[in-house]
């Protein structure tokens, strides 16, 4: 069964560094999302992406963050100048159509030291 994949599974970085989290959505899906979950807290929406542009973003998704679909298969989240509070599990998700079921990847655990 097709699934969303994410790499790396765990990323450790120093405060102030830039990280890129990678996702490969399900191949025939058209809508892509990033969410994050700080330890012990709710899963929070960051951004959605469709037709090569951001379709919606949360107040969390400020200038520190950016997303890109560099080719036909990958979807990336870049976090510039990481802060301690960016430490969280980051999930990528995709859907075939706008209102369809969202399928999530296994997540990347980001630890900022």
Q: Which residues are at the interface with another protein (CB under 8 A)?
A: 31, 33, 35, 41-45, 48, 50, 55-56, 58, 91, 93, 98-107, 109
* Element (DSSP H or E) covering residue 30: none
Report in angstroms how near the CB of residue 82 gets to another protein at its nearest.
Answer: 21
Rounded distance between C-alpha atoms, residue 22 and residue 108, angstroms = 9
Greatest C-alpha distance within the chain: 39
The smaller minimum CB distance to another protein, of residues 17 and 74, is found at: 74
Report in angstroms how near the CB of residue 21 gets to another protein at its nearest.
Answer: 13
The smaller minimum CB distance to another protein, of residues 15 and 45, is found at: 45
């Amino acid at each position: 069964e097709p699934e969303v994949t994410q790499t790396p599974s765990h990323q450790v970085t120093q405060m102030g560094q830039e990280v890129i989290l990678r996702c490969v959505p399900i191949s025939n899906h058209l809508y892509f999302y990033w969410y994050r979950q700080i330890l012990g807290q709710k899963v929070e929406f960051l951004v959605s992406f469709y037709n090569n542009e951001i379709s919606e973003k949360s107040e969390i998704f400020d200038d520190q963050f950016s997303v890109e679909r560099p080719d036909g298969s990958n979807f990336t989240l870049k976090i510039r100048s990481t802060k301690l509070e960016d430490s969280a599990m980051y999930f990528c998700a995709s859907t075939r159509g706008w209102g369809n079921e969202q399928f999530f990847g296994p997540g990347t655990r980001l630890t900022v030291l």
